[in-house]
Amino acid sequence: MRVLSLDSATEVASCAIIEDSKLLGEVIINYKMQHSKTLLPIIDSLLVSLDLTLKDIDGFVVSKGPGSFTGLRIGMATIKGFSQGTNKPFVSVSTLDSLAYNMCYTRGIICPILDALRGNLYTALYTFTGTKFITISDYMVISVEELISLLIKHNSPVCFIGDGLIKHGDLLKKSFSDISFAPVHLNLARASSLGEIGIKRLLMGEKDNIYDSSPMYLRKTQAEREYEKKMETLKNV
């Protein structure tokens, strides 16, 4: 099975083509988030380099977020278009799953963090038991302080990955003794990681429905924000 995967959930625009257990090629552009301009030329150049056309692809994988609103919509629209046009299945995979999977077999907890703005992070907690990749929390949008107190309860080594490190790396470093950060070459939402998770699902016959599959934005609603504000005021009284 040959799968094309696309990740545009973060500042990174990335496309990969995987054939069974072989990564044929991957393009990563981590510059100025212009997905609407860069994504299609990336896909095109990758296909051309591999002497392939869209007709040679058996399935598609797209990042479903959380992440940038615009980026997620561009990725989802592109892959839905490919899937419908070629009549081949697609699956959507969480950006957080894919990021955590970059740090395969790391001991303790793997914690992807993406900047959700306004002091918040998109995150989830993962662990490897043997070769099994397990999610041990919900997908969350929480403040860095909330994340730190949650992780302290786990009392386990923790490895962080994601663009949230830019703003919060120093604070995290101070907060944990047994801590590691993803190396530069892995600290990106890479389409190859997304594709590897996706191809397994496609092989098991899983597929998203083009009409109801949608990105996972994970943003707080106005009601939640107001509730938090209220609780904050009560705390300060």
Partner 1 sequence: MEFIVESVNKTMNIGKKIGSLACAGDIICLTGDLGSGKTHFTKGIAEGLGISDNITSPTFTIVNEYEGRIKLYHFDVYRVNDPDEISAIGFDEYIFGEGICVIEWSNYIRDLIPEEYISINIMKIPEEDTNFRKIIIEYKGDRYNYIKEIRL
Chain residues that interact with partner 1, rule: CB under 8 A: 68-70, 117-118, 217, 219, 221-222, 225-226, 229
Q: φ and ψ at 20, to 5 degrees? A: 50, -110
Phi-psi region of 135 (alpha: psi -120 to 50; beta: other; left: phi over 0): beta
**Measured from the CB atom, is 100 or 116 closer to partner 1?**
116
What are the CA-CA distances from residue 40 to residues 34, 45, 75, 149 (Å)? Answer: 11, 9, 10, 41
CA atoms within 13 A on the CB side of 219: 10
Least distance CB 220 / partner 1 (angstroms): 8
**Measured from the CB atom, is 70 or 84 closer to partner 1?**
70
**Measured from the CB atom, is 33 or 179 closer to partner 1?**
33
Least distance CB 122 / partner 1 (angstroms): 12
Least distance CB 130 / partner 1 (angstroms): 39
| Angle value at C-alpha 163, between 24 and 30, nearest 5 degrees | 45
Q: What share of the chain is helix, strand, coil (3-state, %, to 5)?
A: 40, 25, 30
**Measured from the CB atom, is 42 or 72 closer to partner 1?**
72
Least distance CB 68 / partner 1 (angstroms): 6
